[in-house]
Amino acid sequence: MRELTDEAGELVYGLDDSLPDLVGAWIASLRSDRTRHAYARAFVVWEEYVRARGVHPLRVDFPLADSFAGHLKTARSLKQVGGGGNSGAPARYAPVGPPYQPTTQTALLSGVRSFYVRVVRRQGLAVSPFAFAELLAVSPLGCGGGNPPSETALLIQTARQYSRRAFALCTMLYLIRPRMGELLARDVEHLGYDRGHHTLPFTAQDGRTRPVPIPPLAWHALDLYLGGRNSGPLFMMHNRRRVTEDVARKCLRDIAMRAELPDRPDMFAAPANRYPDLADRAVGPEAATGRQEAIGESSMRRP
């Protein structure tokens, strides 16, 4: 990225700009060549989009991230049009390929989101601009309940301002789609880690309990709420007792009122067909690596 120049031949990112170093360190931290290649391509697409709008990638806000998610639905894919290989010149790309498939849109958003997760951790940003854009666009896990995706995103955004427990509860309920009672019955000791993903066991329709990957946004919220706690109920009240369904539903209704959303009977209901894709989301040798990588980047094992 250091060699990237504008039309006037000036360096886009000067020697005092930390972006190239951050991108390089992020790519180097990824475990497989396949992931490095896919995420590097995702960042190229994102950087081109942001630079065309006169915004630095480290100064992006949520509206621009959200517009990028919508842009991918109609944009043409990048194809190499020069440079690279044995030429010694940097590879040049142009948007002349076919439109992005929905799965590719998801992978691109996941790749860019992965970069901002790292920046949030290392640079002290408050929250990734893609925390909600991915949910509003083509999230690979979908949304729970009878809510449209825009309402779900608003609920989660409002819950983040309400309390850490509410933020964790909303993201876990609406991104993983468990039965509320089953989620509240889990303990911190049930949290696992496998194949680069934090997991929590849930019961599928066939009656079998399997570890389900926790999406990155939900894990961020849960980890923030737990604050290093490694025992006891996953969701706990101030008196250290387990949160009940009545308490959780009251909390969610308060959030819905703050978000000025209508109080519908199906607002907090999980889908009737729970975990229709649990076989794809289960962690283990049978899980497809590509689908796992779409869920989010690898992160450290909890102590």
Show which of 138, 157, 178 is a domain's final residue. Answer: 138
CA distance 192 to 182: 16
Strand 209-213 relative to strand 197-203, pairing: antiparallel
Q: Which residues contact 84 (CB under 8 A, 6 or more apart)?
A: 90, 91, 92
What is residue 245's predicted lDDT score, i.e. its pLDDT? Answer: 92
With H, G, I as helix, E, B as strand and everything else as coil, classify residue 270: coil
Show which of 138, 156, 186 is a domain's final residue. Answer: 138
Compute the Cα dihedral for 223, 217, 46, 288 and give only its sign.
positive
- Of residues 94 and 240, which shows the higher confidence score? 240
Residue 301 domain-assigned (yes or no): no
Q: Domain check: are 6 and 78 in the same one?
A: yes
Total domains in the fold of the chain:
2
Q: Domain check: are 171 and 280 in the same one?
A: yes
Q: Domain check: are 120 and 239 in the same one?
A: no
- What is the pLDDT confidence band of residue 48, given thresholds at 50, 70 and 90? confident
Cβ 93 vs Cβ 79: under 8 Å = yes
Q: Domain check: are 179 and 66 in the same one?
A: no
Query: Which structural domain range is residue 93 located in?
Result: 1-138
| Confidence (pTM) | 0.51
Q: Domain check: are 238 and 131 in the same one?
A: no
Residue 302 domain-assigned (yes or no): no
Q: Domain check: are 85 and 39 in the same one?
A: yes
With H, G, I as helix, E, B as strand and everything else as coil, classify residue 288: coil
Burial (Cβ within 10 Å: 0-12, 13-18, ≥19) of residue 242: middle
Q: Which residues pair with 80 in a beta bridge?
A: 93
Q: Domain check: are 196 and 73 in the same one?
A: no
**pLDDT tens-digit readout, 181-215:** 999 999 999 999 887 678 999 987 778 888 998 88
Beta-carbon neighbour count of residue 208 at 10 Å? 10
pLDDT of residue 169 exceeding 90: yes
Show which of 116, 138, 160 is a domain's final residue. Answer: 138
Cβ 182 vs Cβ 279: under 8 Å = no
CA distance 276 to 227: 32
pLDDT of residue 277 exceeding 70: no
